[in-house]
Amino acid sequence: MQISVEMDKCCGAGQCVLVAPEVFDQRDEDGVVVALNAQPPAELHASVEEAAQVCPAAAITLS
């Protein structure tokens, strides 16, 4: 799994961080999402998929 984040689309809602805090964080200055691990281990794939689905701005893409 590869995570791509479109930072310009991120609205800073933080849903991804709530669902997968091991993989996502937010910048302090503006709340924009940051992927801590763009290639998370298999045991985190389910939470990463959920995080991408709940993103209100559809800023997270998985491949």
**pLDDT tens-digit map of 35-56:** 999 999 999 999 999 999 999 9
CATH number at residue 37: 3.30.70.20
Q: Which domain holds residue 58?
A: 3-62
Provide the whole-model pTM.
0.93
**CA 2 to CA 6: how far, in whole Å?**
13
What is the per-residue pLDDT across 6-34, written as a single tens digit (0 to 9) for each? 999 999 999 999 999 999 999 999 999 99
> What's the total number of domains in the chain?
1
